[in-house]
Amino acid sequence: MIGWITKQFTGDWRALARFGIAVGRLGDCVGDVGHNIRYARDEVARHWTGNAASSALAYFTEVAAACAAAQAALRELSGQYKEAARGNWLFANQAAGVITGITDAAMLGGIGAGIGTLFGWTGLGAWAGGTLAGSQILRITALIQDATKIIQTAGSTLSAIAGAVLGMTDLGGLRSLPLPAHPYDHPGVP
């Protein structure tokens, strides 16, 4: 029950972690594509010469470099998502602790009120029950203040991570790398 309540406030930290892992794997894939482009460029360079070859090899070098930069950007993004997942998990644990504390205090306050009502005629029962109920109300108030601080801290942390993620939209220059305007059409190739 507390897990469900906590998830409603904190979100699904496991999904953030899985996405961070997926982004890291995407970065590895883009890095491998860049490596393959460099390898193919080097192989082609041994057999192809001339102005078209020079232009193509320069372009492939640029694409391979952009892939390497994108790999680095995606790895950093992966780390940011993993850190967000860790922060969200910590937030979920703290929220669960606060909710558990509030629930416990409410039950103890109810018991205190019941004691005060049941044994109020003795005077001592009313005092003991009222004291227990009052102390639990103070405890609940303190826990709500703690929850507010936790929510503010988590919100600030997640906002900072979101800002870092949004700042990485260029993916190391890969997104801005133009494709050739025209496909290469060698006159000697049918």
Is 138 inside a domain boundary? yes
How far is Cα 123 from Cα 145, in angstroms, rounded to an integer?
33
Task: State the CATH number of the domain containing residue 131.
Answer: 1.20.1270
pLDDT of residue 83: 84
pLDDT of residue 32: 95
Is 180 inside a domain boundary? no
pLDDT of residue 177: 63
How far is Cα 190 from Cα 153, in angstroms, rounded to an integer?
65
Is 183 inside a domain boundary? no
Query: Which tokens sit at 94?
Result: 């703290």
Is 178 inside a domain boundary? no
Query: Could you give the residue ranges of the DSSP H alpha helices within the chain?
Result: 2-10, 13-45, 51-118, 124-166
Is 188 inside a domain boundary? no
Is 184 inside a domain boundary? no
Is 190 inside a domain boundary? no
pLDDT of residue 169: 60
pTM of the model: 0.65
pLDDT of residue 59: 86
Which residues form the domain of 101?
A: 2-173
Report mean pLDDT in 10-residue bins for the chain, 190 residues: 65 83 93 94 89 86 88 87 83 80 83 79 77 81 80 72 65 62 65
How far is Cα 187 from Cα 129, in angstroms, rounded to an integer?
97
How far is Cα 134 from Cα 144, in angstroms, rounded to an integer?
15
Is 129 inside a domain boundary? yes
- Total number of domains constituting the chain: 1
